[in-house]
Amino acid sequence: MKRTSRPGFSLVECLMVLGVVTAMLGMIGSLAAWSVRESRDVTLRLAALEGLANLMEEARITAYAKLDKTWAESRTLPSPLLNQIPGSKLQVQVITEPGAFALKRVIASIEMRTANSATPHNLTLATLVAEPAEAKP
Protein backbone atom coordinates (compact mmCIF):
# COMPACT_ATOMS: atom_id res chain seq x y z
CA MET A 1 0.00 0.00 0.00
CA LYS A 2 1.42 3.29 -1.08
CA ARG A 3 1.24 6.16 1.36
CA THR A 4 0.46 9.55 -0.07
CA SER A 5 1.44 12.73 1.72
CA ARG A 6 -1.03 15.46 2.06
CA PRO A 7 -0.15 19.11 2.50
CA GLY A 8 -0.67 20.44 6.02
CA PHE A 9 0.65 20.14 9.54
CA SER A 10 0.51 17.23 11.90
CA LEU A 11 -1.09 17.46 15.33
CA VAL A 12 2.32 17.34 17.02
CA GLU A 13 3.59 20.28 14.95
CA CYS A 14 0.49 22.33 15.79
CA LEU A 15 0.86 21.59 19.52
CA MET A 16 4.53 22.59 19.44
CA VAL A 17 3.74 25.91 17.79
CA LEU A 18 0.92 26.52 20.27
CA GLY A 19 3.33 25.84 23.17
CA VAL A 20 5.92 28.25 21.80
CA VAL A 21 3.31 30.98 21.26
CA THR A 22 1.97 30.47 24.80
CA ALA A 23 5.47 30.76 26.28
CA MET A 24 6.15 33.94 24.30
CA LEU A 25 2.87 35.52 25.46
CA GLY A 26 3.73 34.63 29.06
CA MET A 27 7.12 36.32 28.75
CA ILE A 28 5.61 39.40 27.14
CA GLY A 29 2.98 39.62 29.90
CA SER A 30 5.54 39.38 32.70
CA LEU A 31 7.74 41.98 30.98
CA ALA A 32 4.78 44.36 30.70
CA ALA A 33 3.90 43.88 34.39
CA TRP A 34 7.52 44.52 35.42
CA SER A 35 7.62 47.63 33.25
CA VAL A 36 4.49 49.05 34.87
CA ARG A 37 5.88 48.42 38.39
CA GLU A 38 9.21 50.05 37.55
CA SER A 39 7.47 53.02 35.96
CA ARG A 40 5.44 53.53 39.14
CA ASP A 41 8.60 53.32 41.28
CA VAL A 42 10.38 55.90 39.12
CA THR A 43 7.36 58.21 39.32
CA LEU A 44 7.35 57.91 43.13
CA ARG A 45 11.08 58.61 43.32
CA LEU A 46 10.67 61.71 41.15
CA ALA A 47 7.81 62.93 43.35
CA ALA A 48 9.97 62.38 46.46
CA LEU A 49 12.89 64.26 44.89
CA GLU A 50 10.57 67.14 44.00
CA GLY A 51 9.41 67.23 47.63
CA LEU A 52 13.03 67.35 48.80
CA ALA A 53 13.84 70.10 46.29
CA ASN A 54 10.88 72.13 47.57
CA LEU A 55 12.20 71.68 51.10
CA MET A 56 15.63 72.95 50.01
CA GLU A 57 13.98 76.03 48.48
CA GLU A 58 12.09 76.57 51.73
CA ALA A 59 15.40 76.44 53.63
CA ARG A 60 16.94 79.01 51.28
CA ILE A 61 14.14 81.54 51.84
CA THR A 62 13.95 81.00 55.61
CA ALA A 63 15.72 83.56 57.75
CA TYR A 64 19.22 82.34 58.61
CA ALA A 65 18.65 82.70 62.36
CA LYS A 66 15.54 80.49 62.19
CA LEU A 67 17.38 77.59 60.55
CA ASP A 68 17.97 75.37 63.55
CA LYS A 69 17.04 71.99 65.02
CA THR A 70 13.51 73.18 65.83
CA TRP A 71 12.96 74.26 62.23
CA ALA A 72 14.30 70.92 60.97
CA GLU A 73 12.09 68.87 63.29
CA SER A 74 8.99 70.80 62.24
CA ARG A 75 9.38 69.88 58.56
CA THR A 76 7.03 67.22 57.19
CA LEU A 77 6.28 65.76 53.81
CA PRO A 78 3.30 67.23 51.98
CA SER A 79 0.16 65.13 52.50
CA PRO A 80 -0.20 64.22 48.78
CA LEU A 81 3.31 62.77 48.87
CA LEU A 82 2.59 60.92 52.11
CA ASN A 83 -0.48 59.40 50.49
CA GLN A 84 1.55 58.27 47.47
CA ILE A 85 4.40 56.81 49.53
CA PRO A 86 2.96 55.40 52.75
CA GLY A 87 5.52 54.44 55.35
CA SER A 88 8.12 56.91 54.11
CA LYS A 89 10.22 58.81 56.62
CA LEU A 90 11.60 62.33 56.28
CA GLN A 91 14.72 63.38 58.16
CA VAL A 92 15.97 66.97 58.09
CA GLN A 93 19.20 68.21 59.67
CA VAL A 94 20.63 71.70 60.01
CA ILE A 95 24.37 71.67 60.65
CA THR A 96 26.52 74.74 61.21
CA GLU A 97 29.61 74.35 59.06
CA PRO A 98 32.77 74.35 61.17
CA GLY A 99 35.37 76.89 60.17
CA ALA A 100 32.95 78.70 57.89
CA PHE A 101 31.59 82.08 58.85
CA ALA A 102 27.79 82.09 59.02
CA LEU A 103 27.21 79.01 56.86
CA LYS A 104 24.70 76.24 57.53
CA ARG A 105 24.21 72.96 55.70
CA VAL A 106 20.63 71.71 55.39
CA ILE A 107 20.35 67.99 54.63
CA ALA A 108 17.01 66.33 53.90
CA SER A 109 16.52 62.67 53.19
CA ILE A 110 13.54 60.44 52.54
CA GLU A 111 13.52 56.74 53.26
CA MET A 112 10.83 55.33 51.02
CA ARG A 113 9.52 51.82 50.77
CA THR A 114 7.80 50.62 47.65
CA ALA A 115 5.80 47.48 46.99
CA ASN A 116 8.44 46.22 44.55
CA SER A 117 11.47 46.50 46.79
CA ALA A 118 12.22 44.72 50.04
CA THR A 119 14.88 47.30 50.90
CA PRO A 120 14.04 51.00 51.24
CA HIS A 121 15.30 53.62 48.81
CA ASN A 122 17.11 56.55 50.42
CA LEU A 123 17.00 59.87 48.60
CA THR A 124 19.04 62.78 49.96
CA LEU A 125 19.50 66.42 48.97
CA ALA A 126 21.62 69.05 50.68
CA THR A 127 22.13 72.78 50.35
CA LEU A 128 24.27 75.45 51.94
CA VAL A 129 22.64 78.55 53.36
CA ALA A 130 24.69 81.63 54.16
CA GLU A 131 23.79 84.51 56.39
CA PRO A 132 23.04 87.48 54.15
CA ALA A 133 25.61 90.22 54.23
CA GLU A 134 24.49 93.45 55.79
CA ALA A 135 23.77 96.19 53.32
CA LYS A 136 26.12 99.15 53.57
CA PRO A 137 24.63 102.62 53.19
User: Residue 9: its pLDDT value, please?
Assistant: 82
Q: Is the pLDDT of residue 136 over 60?
A: no
Residue-wise pLDDT tens digits, 4-32: 777 888 889 999 999 999 999 999 999 99
Q: DSSP labels for 1-37?
A: ------SS--HHHHHHHHHHHHHHHHHHHHHHHHHHH
Sheet holding 89-96, edge to edge: 89-96, 103-112, 121-130
Residues with Cβ within 8 Å of residue 60, at least 6 apart in sequence: 127, 129
> In b/e form, how buried is each residue of 12-29, taking b as 16+ CB within 10 angstroms?
eeeeeeeeeeeeeeeeee
Q: Is the pLDDT of residue 132 over 90?
A: no
Average pLDDT over residues 71-89: 86
Residue-wise pLDDT tens digits, 92-112: 999 998 876 789 999 999 998
